[in-house]
């Protein structure tokens, strides 16, 4: 489904981003998995690449550093000559109740979740805009952006910004054949979730009509649809991937 | 590739002018057809031709034909 496509996935070394990188490569894409910790992609990519039609490659930089973003994107462009897909998945999450919101954590969340997303979108869209077939950008939002959640005032605000910038970018970049969509995952079974209190977690799962957490692959498949040619007339949308959650 | 020839070609094609017009008066504020759309088209063509990616500040301050040459030199383009 993605054969011949070159994609960049930020936060691609673990969790949802790792699943996105893997699903894309399984479907034929050359994937540049972005991470900050050097070596974190190679911990699994060397073995993984043996059995797939595509390939996961690593690239290490901080998406909140505009210069680093520019250099990395140029590196991808020079190596592959085109960039067809970008998944802005990298994100930082601190859950703090009102009255206990740390300025440092707030700035970190906006720096990565919002400014980093804009950096990547702005830089990659300049490459895509010069390509005959444009490209597709997927921003990972969150159901908290749409519904809100206790203890997630700042995180939900950053993801709300992601939803808004997705819609505006879609309108501005449509003429260049660049599609911009967002995926809003519900509660997802990542390493972070394994540390949650079992009773509280079960209460939250009880609100999911499908009766289970999302697996990272569930999110990755939705991203694949958005990056693939199956969605060539879809832009400016926010797709909830939450197992029909009642919040 | 002769950088100056390529640079001039991009300006001629972007703005629909002859090479004679490319002088110190060819500026963002002084040329009617150099609007924001033409500006981004110019930037895109230059990035493609010279395999560079401009910093946003350089895009915003790219104000004239001659200033553009100086900016490109910063990115390693030799004129």
User: Can you point out the beta strands (E) in A93-245?
Assistant: 135-140, 178-185, 238-241
In a domain, A99, yes or no: yes
Helix H or strand E encompassing A8? strand A6-10
ipTM of the complex: 0.80
Average pLDDT for residues A162-188, to the nearest whole number? 97
pLDDT digits (tens, 9 = 90+) for A62-112: 999 999 999 999 999 999 999 999 999 999 999 999 999 999 999 999 999
In a domain, B79, yes or no: no
In a domain, B47, yes or no: yes
CATH number of the domain bearing residue B31: 1.10.1200.10
In a domain, A32, yes or no: yes
CATH number of the domain bearing residue A85: 3.40.50.720
In a domain, B11, yes or no: yes
- Percent of chain A whose pLDDT exceeds 70: 100
Average pLDDT for residues A8-16, to the nearest whole number? 97
Selected residue of A67, A70, A72 to mutate for chain B interface (largest B Cβ count, 10 A): A70
Are A56 and A82 within 8 A, CB to CB? no
Chains A & B: contacts with CB separation below 8 Å = 19
In a domain, A1, yes or no: no
Distance CA A90, CA A181 (A): 16
Residue B32 burial (CB < 10 Å; 0-12/13-18/19+)?
exposed
CA distance B75 to chain A (A): 12
User: Residue A238: beta bridge partners?
Assistant: A182
In a domain, A109, yes or no: yes
Which one of B48, B52, B53 has the shortest CB-CB distance to A123?
A: B53
Residues in A touching B44 (Cβ below 8 Å): 126, 129-130
In a domain, A246, yes or no: no
In a domain, A247, yes or no: no
Secondary structure (3-state) at A88? strand
Residue of A nearest to B55 (CA): A67
In a domain, A167, yes or no: yes
How many structural domains is chain A composed of?
A: 1
Distance CA A54, CA A28 (A): 4
Residues of the domain holding B38: 3-74
Selected residue of B52, B53, B58, B74 to mutate for chain A interface (largest A Cβ count, 10 A): B53
Computed over every residue of chain A, the mean pLDDT equals: 96
Q: What is the pLDDT along chain B (79 residues), one digit of tens a residue?
A: 799 999 999 999 999 999 999 999 999 999 999 999 999 999 999 999 999 999 999 999 999 999 999 999 999 999 9
How many structural domains is chain B composed of?
A: 1
Q: What is the CA radius of gyration of chain B?
A: 11
What is the model's pLDDT at position A247?
65
- Percent of chain A whose pLDDT exceeds 90: 93
Distance CA B22, CA B24 (A): 7
In a domain, A151, yes or no: yes
What is the model's pLDDT at position A196?
79
Angle, in degrees to the nearest 10, between helices A153-173 and A117-128: 10
CA distance A38 to chain B (A): 24
Residues of the domain holding A197: 6-241
pLDDT digits (tens, 9 = 90+) for A118-128: 999 999 999 99
């Amino acid at each position: 489904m993605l054969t011949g496509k070159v994609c960049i996935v930020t936060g691609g070394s673990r969790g949802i981003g790792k699943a996105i990188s893997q699903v894309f490569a399984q479907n034929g894409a050359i994937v540049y998995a972005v991470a900050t910790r050097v070596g974190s992609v190679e911990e699994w990519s060397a073995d993984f690449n043996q059995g797939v039609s595509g390939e996961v490659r690593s690239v290490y930089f901080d998406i909140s550093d505009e210069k680093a973003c520019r250099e990395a994107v140029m590196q991808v462009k020079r190596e592959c000559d085109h960039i067809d897909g970008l998944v802005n998945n990298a994100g930082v999450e601190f859950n703090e109740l009102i009255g206990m919101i740390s300025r440092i954590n707030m700035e970190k969340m906006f720096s990565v979740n919002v400014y980093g997303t804009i950096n990547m979108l702005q830089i990659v869209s300049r490459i895509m805009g010069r390509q005959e077939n444009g490209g597709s950008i997927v921003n990972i939002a969150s159901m908290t952006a749409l519904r809100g959640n206790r203890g997630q005032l700042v995180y939900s605000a950053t993801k709300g910004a992601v939803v808004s910038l997705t819609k505006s970018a879609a309108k501005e970049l449509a003429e260049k054949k660049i599609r911009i969509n967002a995926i809003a995952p519900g509660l997802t079974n990542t390493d972070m979730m394994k540390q949650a209190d079992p009773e509280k977690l079960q209460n939250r799962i009880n609100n999911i009509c499908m009766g289970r957490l999302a697996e990272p692959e569930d999110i990755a498949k939705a991203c694949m649809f958005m990056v693939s040619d199956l969605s060539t007339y879809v832009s400016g949308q926010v797709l909830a991937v939450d197992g029909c959650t009642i919040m | 590739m002769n950088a100056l020839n390529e640079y001039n070609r991009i300006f001629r094609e972007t703005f629909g002018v002859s090479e004679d017009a490319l002088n110190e008066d060819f500026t963002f504020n002084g040329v009617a057809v150099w609007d924001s759309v033409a500006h981004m088209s110019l930037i895109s063509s230059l990035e493609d031709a010279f395999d560079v990616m401009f910093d946003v500040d350089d895009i915003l301050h790219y104000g004239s034909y001659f200033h553009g040459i100086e900016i490109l030199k910063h990115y390693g383009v030799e004129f």
